[in-house]
Amino acid sequence: MTHPYDTREHDAQELDTCDVLLSSHDVRDDGLIVLHVLGPTRGVPATVWTDDPERLRGLLREHKGTAQWQPRVNRLRLSRDTVGTTLVRVAESPRR
């Protein structure tokens, strides 16, 4: 099955990407993740959630490149030099 590729949507998503500081220590056992956003909103933490904290911790332990958060599509991008990118789906943190 093929999907149409809309470059306008792709470009908008790329513009909505924030660089973040992220390590395996930022992922809690309950799945909450504290992102330390860089750039214009530097220092403003954002909280997201994953249903598989162990998997994300494992990916982050191996990760050596940059991390980016795409809030519009609820996704973390873990880039590895020019070789490839791992995408991790996240959700807004549940309200308590």
Per-residue pLDDT reduced to its tens digit, 61-75 = 988 877 888 888 888
Give the position of tokens 């030099």. 81
Distance CA 39, CA 65 (A): 17
Confidence at residue 6, expressed as pLDDT on a 0 to 100 scale: 42
Band the pLDDT of 85: cuts 50, 70, 90. low
Which tens digits make up the pLDDT trace of 17-39?
888 888 999 999 999 998 888 87
- Average pLDDT, rounded, for the chain: 76
Cβ neighbours for 32, distance < 8 A, ≥ 6 positions apart: 47, 48, 49, 93
The model's pTM: 0.71
pLDDT at 74: 86
